[in-house]
Amino acid sequence: MVLVMDVGNSHTVIGVFRGTELKTHWRIGTVAQRTADEFRALLTSLLREDGLSPEQMRGCCISSVVPPINASLEAACARIFGKPLVIVEPGIRTGIPIAVDNPKEVGADRIVNSVAAVSEYGAPAIVIDFGTATTFDVISARGEFCGGVIIPGVTISAEALFERCAKLPKVDLVVPPSVIGRDTISNIRSGLTYGYSDMVDGLINRIAAELGGTPTVVATGGLAPLIAGIAKRIDHVDAFLTLKGLRLLFERNAKESE
């Protein structure tokens, strides 16, 4: 089995694969101040709760967009598993060319998502990750990561609205029954759901026009189901796309076998 970890700005998603099957997964808050000892206790506890043990793991693959957390997390994994540890960083074998001006500045999660998308859905493709920020990752027909778009995430957009407009109440992200709201709450919900979805569709149309062909559009991330339920250009929602990509990268970079 292989343990994989996707460390995002708000949440960390952890999964365990047996072969190509995702056996179990957990979602925890990302806390940059956690020590190696805290990570070790947390990971050991999560595994044991699901009837697993560190000794069953062949190794671990980690992608992180939170640099302060990396040293503690790597130290914890090395101590727990004592097995191959693959960190998604410049220099690892990805299987896809990074055709941008500065490949080293591309977020690890974006590379992981692109690897998984090409494997699962082929190329060309557009991967939209609805996280703290919403990222659009573009893969050409030749299987190259060729750039993309970054915009504020849905939650960030909502928080900015509530903070800057004192008279507007905070609302849950729920799709209202109609675009035209009849009260303030439904007005806000319409903008945050229908408005955001139309922005996503518009960007997909522009990207596809520049890219050429008919790219497959894959959505992932916590709010992917909400937006994909309204947007017209999203073909697939894959909640575990990033974890699948991490497993693939482990297999391409770790030599140990079962």
Alpha-carbon dihedral sign for residues 90, 239, 218, 59? positive
Establish whether 109 is a catalytic residue.
yes
- 216-220 and 133-139 strand pairing: unpaired
Query: Distance of CA 241 to CAs 3, 65, 119, 167, 245, Å?
Result: 15, 16, 10, 39, 6
Strands in the chain per DSSP E = 2-7, 11-18, 21-29, 59-64, 85-87, 125-130, 133-139, 145-152, 216-220, 236-237
Distance from C-alpha of 53 to C-alpha of 30, rounded to nearest angstrom: 23
Name the active-site residue from 109, 129, 137, 238: 109
Neighbours of 176 (CB within 10 A): 20
Distance from C-alpha of 204 to C-alpha of 166, rounded to nearest angstrom: 33
Closest to 245 measured CA to CA, from 140, 152, 109: 109
Indicate which residues carry an active-site annotation: 109
